[in-house]
Structure 1
Amino acid sequence: MAITKKSLKVRPECRVTFNYRPGDEARHCVELRGDFNGWGEKPLPLKRQRDGSYRVTLNLPQGGEYAFRYLIDEAHWDNDEAADAYVPNPYGTGDNGMLRT
């Protein structure tokens, strides 16, 4: 798993690319959910890459802080080990990753 960030020169935004690699070779449905998309109100599916990883890129305002997680096959939540920090989620079921732009 990896997250790359690049500040845009023409707008006060940060281009963030989320990469997720599952622990097996099976095909999965991977969605990115977080504060930036209402935790799924606007779906952000990751696209499967040739190497078996999944990727999505989005622009977020600079200076923001966002909780997020990956939802795998509509059943399993996973965090990104490249998150900037982790905070307990409000449901008491683990931590959410934090992204700072």
Structure 2
Amino acid sequence: MLERKQLKDRTYITFVLPADTPPGPVSVVGDFNDWQPGTHSLAPREDGTRAVTVALPGKSVHSFRYLAADDHWFDDEHADSHDGINSRVHT
């Protein structure tokens, strides 16, 4: 799931997943962090989910995927769109 907060020329996107699905550490990896795993790792929240927030330029489109333990890549079914293999977020 994606949560959004617009502030001036930036959009803060919070990437949210259930706390234990998939198990183990998960990071969001995309063109906004040069596809570097571990740069934006999801952390537990009090509501039973885990999340990470990334500030992105307004009026832009970004590709991303999630990377879990054991090199398990997966998409966000709630993304704004998909471009084949990647999820997409529109700010």
TM-score band, normalised by the shorter chain?
0.7 to 0.9
Secondary structure of 1:5's counterpart equals strand
Q: Which residue, out of 3, 17, 21, partners 1:20? A: 17
Q: Does the C-alpha gap of structure 1 residues 70 and 41 become closer, same or farther in structure 2, counting only changes over 3 Å?
A: closer
Is the CA contact 1:30–1:54 (under 8 Å) kept in the aligned structure 2?
A: no
TM-score, scaled to structure 1: 0.78
Is the CA contact 2:37–2:67 (under 8 Å) kept in the aligned structure 1?
A: no
- Aligned mates of 1:5, 1:50 — CA distance in 2: 19
What letter corresponds to residue 5 of structure 1 in structure 2?
A: R
Unpaired segments ≥5 residues, structure 1: 89-94
Superposed displacement of residue 48, structure 1: 2.0
For residues 28-53 of structure 1, the C-alpha deviation after alignment (integer angstroms, 9 at most, x for no partner) is 11001001000017711110234542
Larger radius of gyration: 1
Secondary structure of 1:36's counterpart equals helix
What letter corresponds to residue 2 of structure 2 in structure 1?
A: I
What letter corresponds to residue 3 of structure 1 in structure 2?
A: L
TM-score, scaled to structure 2: 0.86
- Aligned mates of 2:37, 2:21 — CA distance in 1: 27
Provide the residue aligned with 2:59 in structure 1: 63
